[in-house]
Every structure is written in C-alpha cells, then in structure tokens.
Amino acid sequence: MASGLITESDLVLPTLRALVKNADAGVSTTELQLLLREEMKPQGEDLALLEGRGDDKFSQKVRNLKSHDRLERDGLADFADGRYHLTPAGKSFIEKFGGIDESYSAQGFPENDKKEALRPEFEYTFIEEGSSSHVSRTVRQRSKRLREYALKFFADKDGRISCEGCGFEGSTAYGKVALGLIEIHHKKPVAVHGTSKKPLKEAIKDLSPLCPTCHRLVHFKKGTVMSIEELKKTIADA
C-alpha cells in the first residue's frame, strides 16, 4: 500500500478479497484486522496509538467498517454471530471493481470521490490508462475505449488536440509526428449507469485533455489531484 493515510473506502475491496478466501468460515473483525494489516501494510499516522487504548488508528478504521455498517449497507456482506460472510452482491462487486480502489488511491482521489464511484449500482467504471495493473481485463478494455472516444471528441477536424492546461498542441511544437500527442485526465473517478453507448457520453464530462507535463503535474503531489483551475493558475503565476 502506498504511504499516506488509509481510508475506509480503501478497506472495502481488500475486505471482500479476504471474505472470498474465507468463504466457508467467514471472518471476524479481529481476524480481519490481521489480514488487512498484512495486505495493506499501514504506515505513519495509521500506526499511531489511540489515547487510552491498546490499538492504533488502523485497527479503529477496520472496526468502523462494522460500526458504520459499510458492507451491510451496500449488501456486500452479512454480519452474523460475530463474523462477516460474503453475499452474492459482494462477490459480483469484487469481480467488477477489483483493483480499481488501488488505482483511485494511487491517483490521489479523496475519500468522498472514491465512495461516490465505488458503489454496487454502477454498471461502468473507468480508470486512467496505465494507472493500475491489478484491475480486470474488462475494466482495462472499457477504459481504453473511453480514451479512444475522448481523443475523437476533443480533436478538431484536423486531428489536433490542445492541452486544457497550457494550450500545448503536439504538431505545432514538433510537426506531424506529434499530432494527437495528448493524455486523457480523469478530473474525478469516472463511474456511470447506462447502456453500452450511454456511459461514454456521460463519462466524457469528467475528462480533460492534458499534455504529458501538465498531466504529471496534476498528480505530482502524492495523495491529491490538482484541479484544472489550479493548474491554469499555477501556469499563469509561473
């Protein structure tokens, strides 16, 4: 797990993976703490001891899964006789979203954005291409289709695409060989309802074309994503 605070949303998919491996017996909260600690390797403040208690902040976050009924509320797991058990909806959820949690965390999206995107009712979820090697093949293929759709959407009639941050356009700077030199940035986690055609039209609203330098800059500070407005101001003030 990358350094930085682990959030409640970060715990959901690793918990479901633990329940898949322990489908028959289920998993208690105490067992879950040990399993997640081994997988996620909390660091820094997550290891800080709670005042007046014998455990740390990471353990508290695992306990909060139950106190907040996070898994039961979404129908992902049942809790009976002190143990979690995976539901059919939970199994379907991990098959659909496995690895996407790591991708969103690596990109620096905040807790509320991740909670909003990782919901069972979403039929389509996309990631930035290359942002995670752990997501399913289906998600990678769908994300590639979104990128291809976005490139056509943002291009002018001659195939030129300008960076929304700095205005860079590849062919102007380097000639025809760099026509279409652009990266597609997700301004927030992209997850939508809909049929096979509708999601692309919905998802495009949350994308921006950025040159490689600007794209690296918006993700440069670990744990955060710079907004397009902040990016433009940074460039203007430079």
Average pLDDT along the chain, 238 residues, taken 10 residues at a time: 72 92 95 94 92 88 95 95 96 84 82 80 80 74 91 96 97 95 93 76 94 94 90 95
Predicted local distance difference test score (pLDDT) of residue 132: 63
Return the pLDDT at 122. 80
User: What CATH fold (topology level) applies to the domain 8-97?
Assistant: Arc Repressor Mutant, subunit A (1.10.10)
Question: In this predicted structure, what is the pLDDT of residue 223?
Answer: 76
Task: Please state the pTM of the whole predicted model.
Answer: 0.66
For residues 226 and 102, what is the distance between their CA atoms, to the nearest angstrom?
A: 19
Ranges of each domain in the chain: 8-97, 122-237
